[in-house]
Amino acid sequence: MLGACGVAMGFAAAAAWPASAAEAAASPNASPNASPKEIRERIDAAAKLLDADNRDAAVESLGEAIRGLEAMASAPRPPAGFKTLADRASGIRRRLEKAGADVTALAVPGIPQQAAPAVAQGRSAAGAPAVGRAAGVSFSRQVAPILAKSCGGCHIAGKKGDFQMASYEGLMRTGMVQRGQGQASRLVEVILTGDMPRGGGKVTSQDVATLIAWIDAGAPCDAPNPAIGIDVVARGGAASPPPPVSPAMKPVAVKPGEVSFASDVAPLLQEHCLKCHGGDETEANLSMASLDALMKGGRTSAVVVAGKGSDSLLVKKLRGAGIEGQRMPLGSPPLADAAIAMIEKWIDQGGQLDMLTATAPLDTVVAAGQATKLTDAALARLRVAAGEKLWRRAIPDEEPGVQPRAGVCVIGNLPAERLTELADLAEDVAGDIRGDLGVDGPLLKGGVVIYAVRQAIDYSAIWQNVSRAERPRGLAGHAGVAGDVVYAALLVPSNQEADDLRAGVADVIAAAAFAGRSTPAWFSQGAGRATASRIAPKAAVVQQWRRDAVAAIPRLGSTADFLAGHADPATTALAAGGLLSTLATGGKLGQVADALDGGATFDEAFFKVFRATPAQAFEKWAARARR
């Protein structure tokens, strides 16, 4: 059902569209009365041209799409899907502007206030089936059968157009469903515009109404296990529910003689299992990309039964005994008996986590386990080598300069002299941060890799390579962990003021120092902003952060949304910076770092230092800030 669409949406371009950027630039102009599908293709072509650094052609293609949008906006009732197309066009326009293109002539139209999306009896303005409302929609009894019938052959059993939704979880990961926004969701848009299903299939107006009502209600899942295949759910198949695994699963200390998940089990899964069970398209719908994913199980059942290693399907499959189907790993030599026994013992211990979180990517868990065994110098060499590999994945056509310093290594495409100056500055700032936090020894064992780029498109490429998502607006620097790399990424304009550059460098290095200690993203972001505010208090960007912090609070949603990382990253950084600038001196942040280095969990370290939970601290600060 669902098919090829734009690069930024994660799908290939439509087959009718020119295959290359050059062909796209040479294709004929779009008609002012272009269909929603044609307009979308123009927008997607603009994105491809921008990715190829062909900004002039991208501006032209986007301009053609905007002319079509203007015609749509002038209709008495703009058709369903108009807002999604306009938002997408606005996003490409922002990317072009950040890349230095002249976009003054590009004005994306909005829906007139008196107009509403076309939802009428009979047919919509776009010629699609009319849709209405329904209430009390069940995913398992109503939505899953619609998806299985209309999408199953291409996008449940297969991955046509590089898109698959084998399970409820898989569907939600695609971004095709925007909770609470049925009409604006891409899943509905491709039906209403006539783009899907292909091959002559039809989706009735009642089925479309059911999908919209389900999404408007928040797209809830009433299947016994969100990892069960949609086709299984649609047939009324029941799968054993997964064992209860809390998203806040706490790491426990490994006692002498016990098996470590991070150091012993995760490396085995990474080496032998992730080839088939590590991506979005996984065999038997079983993902081992994280401990949380492993514990949820596969298409029809759980594979780990905590406390019962010999009864767990994972162990049975590895041994090839008492199972249906073939022994695992498929197409490779069996694991050694000692390795299987280690996995069984870990499950007998309760299948517990000993580092990071249950949702942390498996490669990051493996890297954390390995880091405990290496010296600072050995870990630094490993991180630099892994950092260069990450650069080449994100920006393969440009060889970077590499400038290692004590505690940091700068990798980037700035002019050689500028890169050297930045590396010297980063080393100096890292020393200032150590002093501010009162940290003895290295700021972070193994140091921080800093990606320094001169163009917004390069910064976006690094963000997208690490997070598999579009870069959010409003950020020019961030930090995180990707496998063996604890990194900071920074956009460095050629004309940036010295104080602002110092603040930006301090922000991302301090944030990386806490991200490398496995703190939540909001805390590492806030610690970076708070530390930078003390390192470069007169910087204009620091003053702007302070002015904007309180205004960010209403845009966060609930306290739970803020703490869980559901809010926009730029808004989260502003609010978290305001919170920790008020709550914590450098010494207190240093105490948090010391507690984490001593084996405390983040919640334990936070409460020990601030005598409150993160939720209590945030709500108290927000209440005061609003006054």
- Are both 348 and 383 inside the same structural domain? no
Contact 262, 354 (CB under 8 A): yes
> Which has more pLDDT, 162 or 264?
264
Residue 245 falls within a domain, yes or no?
no
* pLDDT at site 409: 98
> Which has more pLDDT, 10 or 543?
543
pTM above the 0.85 mark? no
- Are both 283 and 415 inside the same structural domain? no
Residue 118 falls within a domain, yes or no?
no
Q: Give the confidence band of 322 by pLDDT, cuts at 50, 70, 90.
A: confident
* pLDDT at site 103: 81
Distance from first CA to last CA of the chain, Å, rounded? 51
Contact 513, 429 (CB under 8 A): no
Q: Give the confidence band of 234 by pLDDT, cuts at 50, 70, 90.
A: confident
How many CA within 13 A on the CB side of residue 594? Answer: 14
Partner residues linked to 450 by β-bridges? 410, 488
Q: Is 247 exposed, middle or buried (0-12, 13-18, 19+ CB in 10 A)?
A: exposed
Distance CA(155)–CA(158), nearest Å, equals: 5
Residue 366 falls within a domain, yes or no?
no
Kindly report the number of other CB atoms within 10 A of residue 600's CB atom: 16
Question: Among residues 272, 451, 265, which one has the least CA distance to residue 365?
Answer: 265
Residue 246 falls within a domain, yes or no?
no
Longest alpha-carbon distance in the chain = 73
Name residue, tokens 């293709």: 41
Look at 39-43, 126-130, 397-401, 496-500 and tell me which has the smallest mean pLDDT.
126-130
Q: Is the pLDDT of residue 426 over 50?
A: yes
Range of the domain at 15: 7-98
Fill in the DSSP letter of residue 375: -
Tokens representing 579? 């919170």
Residue 455 falls within a domain, yes or no?
yes
Q: What HEC string does 52-113 produce?
A: CCCHHHHHHHHHHHHHHHHHHHCCCCCCCCHHHHHHHHHHHHHHHHHCCCCCCCCCCCCCCC
Fill in the DSSP letter of residue 276: H
User: How big, in percent rounded to 5, are the helix, strand and coil portions of the chain?
Assistant: 50, 5, 45
- How many structural domains does the chain have? 4
Q: Is the pLDDT of residue 17 over 50?
A: no
Look at 37-46, 375-384, 452-461 and tell me which has the smallest mean pLDDT.
37-46
Tokens representing 527? 């610690």
Tokens representing 402? 């590499």
SS3 of residue 485 by DSSP: strand
Q: Provide mean pLDDT across the span 576-605.
A: 92
Q: Is 624 exposed, middle or buried (0-12, 13-18, 19+ CB in 10 A)?
A: exposed
Residue 103 falls within a domain, yes or no?
no
CA-CA distances (angstroms) from residue 453 to 55, 398, 413, 450, 524?
A: 18, 11, 6, 10, 21
**pLDDT tens digits, one per residue of 151-171:** 766 666 555 665 667 788 778
> Which has more pLDDT, 481 or 1?
481
Q: Is the pLDDT of residue 339 over 90?
A: yes
SS3 of residue 321 by DSSP: coil
- Are both 523 and 430 inside the same structural domain? yes
The DSSP-derived string for 395-435 is STTSPPEEEEETTEEEEE-S-HHHHHHHHHHHHHHHHHHHH
Name residue, tokens 């600060």: 621
- Are both 229 and 89 inside the same structural domain? no
Kindly report the number of other CB atoms within 10 A of residue 407's CB atom: 23
Tokens representing 490? 């920074």
Tokens representing 240? 């054993």
- Are both 380 and 345 inside the same structural domain? no
Residue 385 falls within a domain, yes or no?
yes
* pLDDT at site 79: 63
Distance CA(39)–CA(550), nearest Å, equals: 39
**pLDDT tens digits, one per residue of 92-111:** 887 887 778 888 778 888 65
Mean pLDDT: which of 9-13, 568-572, 604-608, 622-626 is highest? 604-608
Contact 513, 394 (CB under 8 A): no
> Which has more pLDDT, 114 or 266?
266
Residue 33 falls within a domain, yes or no?
yes
Distance CA(148)–CA(165), nearest Å, equals: 10
CA-CA distances (angstroms) from residue 219 to 83, 139, 280, 555, 561?
A: 20, 8, 20, 22, 17
| Domain termination site, one of 217, 234, 251 | 234
> H-helix or E-strand containing 480?
strand 477-482
Name the strands in the sheet holding 401-405, side by side, starting at the edge strand that comes first in the sequence.
Answer: 401-405, 408-412, 448-453, 485-491, 477-482
Q: Provide mean pLDDT across the span 16-21.
A: 34
* pLDDT at site 540: 96
- Are both 515 and 409 inside the same structural domain? yes
Q: Is the pLDDT of residue 483 over 50?
A: yes
Q: Give the confidence band of 77 by pLDDT, cuts at 50, 70, 90.
A: low
Distance CA(143)–CA(148), nearest Å, equals: 9
SS3 of residue 448 by DSSP: strand
Look at 53-62, 238-247, 361-370, 549-558 and tell me which has the smallest mean pLDDT.
238-247
- Are both 27 and 61 inside the same structural domain? yes
- Are both 209 and 265 inside the same structural domain? no
Please report the sign of the dihedral spanned by the C-alpha atoms of residue 530, residue 535, residue 540, residue 543: positive
Give me the CATH number covering residue 573. 1.10.390
**pLDDT tens digits, one per residue of 522-545:** 999 999 999 999 999 999 999 999
Instruction: Report percent pLDDT > 70 for the chain.
Output: 83
Distance CA(512)–CA(450), nearest Å, equals: 9
- Are both 220 and 320 inside the same structural domain? no
Tell me the pLDDT of the chain averaged across its residues: 81
* pLDDT at site 23: 38
- Are both 576 and 514 inside the same structural domain? yes
* pLDDT at site 459: 93
- Are both 343 and 381 inside the same structural domain? no
- Are both 394 and 335 inside the same structural domain? no
Contact 553, 531 (CB under 8 A): no
* pLDDT at site 24: 38
Question: Among residues 80, 79, 82, 34, which one has the least CA distance to residue 61?
Answer: 34
Mean pLDDT: which of 73-82, 294-303, 389-398, 561-570 is highest? 389-398
Helix H segments across 99-221?
144-151, 168-173, 186-192, 205-216
